[in-house]
Structure 1
Amino acid sequence: MVQLRLLFLEQNESHERGKKQREKFSLLSLMDNLLITFENNTLRFEEAKIFPKISLIYREYDDRKNQSPYFYASSKCIVERNVYTYKEFIAQPLLKIANANDELKEKDIKHCIEVLVDKGQGAHYQHHLRKVHVDIIMQRNIISQTIGLAVISSLYEPIREYLINNHMESYLDRSKGSSFSIFRLTPKWNPKN
């Protein structure tokens, strides 16, 4: 969840010479003016509708037994591709949760990430949690995996095109010791090293 906050949300912490500071940026906002090629059009990243509409759909148990980096999230979580810009993506409703008065409230992706980072997996031990926060925290695995799957599937093609267009194909060549694939962004394992 901390990685998702860094990708999408402003108010990320930075540390400089022992001072804790709050920065107004997200990694994706740093790409706003980056030109990308998408469906044969060149446009600013900020304007590109490359993020999907998503829904929290669990994988079947038998399917979960297969090895996969996405244990909880089903591929059916991606309801429709290329619907949102990244700012629209984090504003889309993800959950309907009843509050303490049994009123159903929609919670968007941004709110879910904030709750999970600050309440569910942050550095602070929480003595008291609101019911709404507990309901979000109880679904943290499916939430984080669904958002992660959406981000990876959305960014893979534009970044691949960027690497190719800028003659950086070596990032795509696994034999050179690094990989750019949907599931592995790690150096190739070598038993001699």
Structure 2
Amino acid sequence: MELKQKGTSANVGSFKQLMVSMKWTTAADFDLAAAYEDKSGKNGLVYFGELGDLNAFPFMQLSGDEGVGDKGGDNEEIMRITNLDDMKTVWILCWDYGKIQDGSPARFKESDVRLSVADDRGVNHNVILNTGDLGNVALIATIDNTSPIGAKLINSSKAGTLKGLKTLEQLLNIIKN
């Protein structure tokens, strides 16, 4: 299913594993990350500096860091999620590492960043980043796990600008405002 427009959504349902894949060929150092809020209200972040864990909380793990030094070509970062039971919300983010360093807008509009979320049953959702906003951080999608009928994947398509990334709160301000 294609989630092309901001606000479009799809039910994720139950799964053994979700695979979140971000691909791009643009010569940019994009990074896939996931900020989260658990059901107790605690926030956290899985990113290239803290890859996460599939067998213990937060039950999310990032494959590594691609495109370092604005390398073009077949770049892909993968995040696997094995359990959402204790999660309220997971925000799937992309940032342009080089542009965050100097506070300038990223190249999202000219890029070919593609996000796909696939479950272990073969159901695949493609989320298209659909924002004209300038920024160097993009909230691409949200996994909302607050409904008793199961998690929902939402195209969030929102951008913001940071100059330096030192705290999770900086990302949460972009996400929640």
Structure 1 and Structure 2 fold alike (TM over 0.5):
no
Higher strand share: 2
TM-score of the two chains, using structure 1 as the length reference: 0.24
Look at both structures and tell me which one has the larger radius of gyration over its CA atoms: 1
TM-score of the two chains, using structure 2 as the length reference: 0.25
Higher helix share: 1
